[in-house]
Amino acid sequence: MLACLPLAADTVSGYVLDTQTEQRLVGIEVAFLVGGEEGLTEMVRRRTDEEGAFSFSGPFLTPGTTFVLVAHHEGLEYDTEPLQVGMQDQVIIEVFDGTEDDGQIRLDGHHLFLAITKAGVDVAQLVHIDNDGASTYIGRAFGDERRVFQMQVPAGSLAPQGHSGQVLRAGPTRLFTTTPLPPGRSQIAFTIQLRGDDFDGSYEHEVLYPTSRLEVFVQPTDIELPASQFEDHGEIHLHDQGYRHYRMRDLDRGRTVAIPLPYSQPLRWSLKWAMLVLVPALLAAAVALTRPAAAAPPAGATRSQCEQLIAQLADIDDRLDTADERGVFTLQQQRQQLKKQVTLLYRQLDDTTG
């Protein structure tokens, strides 16, 4: 969260504000990161002074330089949107108290894609998370890690892959993320695979958070789900692929939804859809179908840009496994900024094609 007010082109200054007390915070570390071809690079850190203010100056502050500020407060990171030197006066970084209470978390839309393939079932999920509270949800600590957003998957699921940041495994049927959820909306996307030999014909979806809408997309399109539970919205096409679209509304925490998927040998060999390759465009198109129309976006968003950013995110996730402490920090900042760019481009694509 930030606000910007116009400053000298060779200086970037501002302060860190606690949104609950409306007080400036003293002694908060603020990092200055500069954007480049390889992503964001941290240049320097400063602590806020006795008035909660910070100021950066130096030869790297040339007019037009893209930069990001990151405030470190109580183990959480609060980063600004990408800014440009000389385009704003003060930068106000807003921080929130952290909470482990997930009672403020609800899901506006949970998009679930289930496609029968020759090898089994490909699964993609896109989740819109609303934090309705005034505090950042930080999850619960387990040893050295903090599990924030929990996700249920069937036992035996393979190859979990995050498309909006890292997705880690907590157990046979649980995945989780580690990124805190500030007040407002966040988005998580991930994919898994189910082996055909192990699939019993029913996909079990457990509701872990109150959910306004469960949007289910199944392939092939002749799959029929029980009319007593699912609204049938008919056949649709997303990214040149046909799906049957179903919907459930107002799901309470703890509910289990059984989705029958007939799985037979002929289907294994007749369908050859690559879920993992198409997931970025697929999820974007699905959101356009299931939300109200928005105002016209700025031009210039292309699928090739999205694909390039997704590839950069995947590369960062690979590098995180072997990075040292400082490298991890830099890579995490780069990943956060790429996520924001991907989300913006997806929204532009949604509105252009919706």
What CATH code is carried by the domain that includes residue 212? 2.60.40
| 116 and 216 fall within a common domain | yes
> In this predicted structure, what is the pLDDT of residue 87?
82
Confidence of residue 288 (pLDDT cuts 50, 70, 90): low
SS3 content of the chain, % helix, strand, coil (to 5): 20, 45, 35
Report whether pLDDT(274) > 50.
no
pLDDT of residue 8: 43
Q: Tokens standing for 203? A: 């996909």
Going by the DSSP 8-state scheme, the letter that residue 261 receives in this structure is -
- For 292-303, what is the mean pLDDT? 44
Range in 71-75, 119-123, 246-250, 314-318 the model is least confident about: 314-318
Longest dimension (CA), the chain: 71
What pLDDT is stored for residue 310 in this prediction?
64
For range 195-209, the mean pLDDT: 91
**pLDDT at res. 345:** 57
Mean of pLDDT values over 151-159: 90
Do both 108 and 86 map to the same domain?
no
Domain identity same for 136 and 207 = yes
pLDDT tens, position by position, 239-249: 778 899 999 99
Claim to verify: residue 182 and residue 50 sit in the same structural domain: no
Q: Which position has the higher pLDDT, 81 or 158? A: 158
Per-residue pLDDT, 268: 38
Question: Can you tell me the distance from the alpha carbon of 116 to that of 120, in angstroms, rounded to the nearest whole number?
Answer: 6
pLDDT: which is higher, 58 or 126: 126
| Residues 265 and 160 grouped into a single domain | yes
Q: Out of 95, 120, 135, pick the residue that ends a domain.
A: 95
State the pLDDT confidence band at 103, using cuts at 50, 70 and 90: very high
**301 pLDDT tier (thresholds 50, 70, 90):** very low
β-pairing, 241-251 vs 76-79, is unpaired
Domain that holds residue 231: 102-290
Phi, psi of 311 (to 5 degrees): -65, -40
Instruction: Answer yes or no: do 191 and 78 share one domain.
Output: no
> Is 295 contained in some domain?
no
- Tell me which of 101 and 286 has the higher pLDDT: 101
Asked which of 95, 119, 136 is the last residue of a domain, the reply is: 95
On the question of pLDDT at 131 being above 90, the answer is yes
Number of domains in the chain: 3
User: Is residue 139 located within the same domain as residue 278?
Assistant: yes
- Do 278 and 313 sit in the same domain of this protein? no
Answer yes or no: is pLDDT of 184 > 80.
yes
| Percentage of the chain exceeding pLDDT 70 | 70
78 with 108, same domain: the answer is: no
Q: What is the pLDDT of residue 27?
A: 96
Distances (CA, A) of 16 to 21, 38, 313, 332: 12, 28, 29, 21
Residue 226 lies in a domain: yes
Cβ atoms within 10 Å of 45's Cβ, excluding its own: 14
Reduce the DSSP state of residue 327 to 3 states and report it.
helix
Closest residue by Cα to residue 127 from 43, 42, 48, 186: 186
| Residue with the larger pLDDT of the pair 352 and 234 | 234
The CATH number given to whatever domain includes residue 35 is 2.60.40.1120
Q: Would residue 296 count as lying in a domain?
A: no
What pLDDT, on the 0 to 100 scale, is given for residue 330? 61
Residue 295 has what pLDDT? 39
What pLDDT, on the 0 to 100 scale, is given for residue 253?
95
Cα distances (angstroms) measured from residue 153 to each of 67, 174, 196, 337: 38, 6, 15, 28
* Listed residues 259, 290, 321: the one ending a domain: 290
Nearest of 141, 144, 174 to residue 160 by alpha carbon: 174
Q: What pLDDT is stored for residue 240 in this prediction? A: 77
Q: Is the pLDDT of residue 118 over 90?
A: no
Which pLDDT belongs to residue 60? 76
pLDDT digits (tens, 9 = 90+) for 18-61: 888 889 999 999 999 887 766 678 889 999 999 999 999 888 78
Residues 113 and 145 grouped into a single domain? yes
Residues shown for the chain? 354
Same domain, 242 and 152: yes
What is the average pLDDT value for the chain, to the nearest integer?
79
Please tell me the least confidently modeled range out of 41-50, 74-83, 170-179. Answer: 74-83
Q: What is the pLDDT of residues 307-354, one digit of tens each?
A: 666 666 666 666 666 766 556 556 666 666 666 665 555 555 544 444
Give residue 165's region: left, alpha or beta (phi > 0; psi -120 to 50). Answer: left
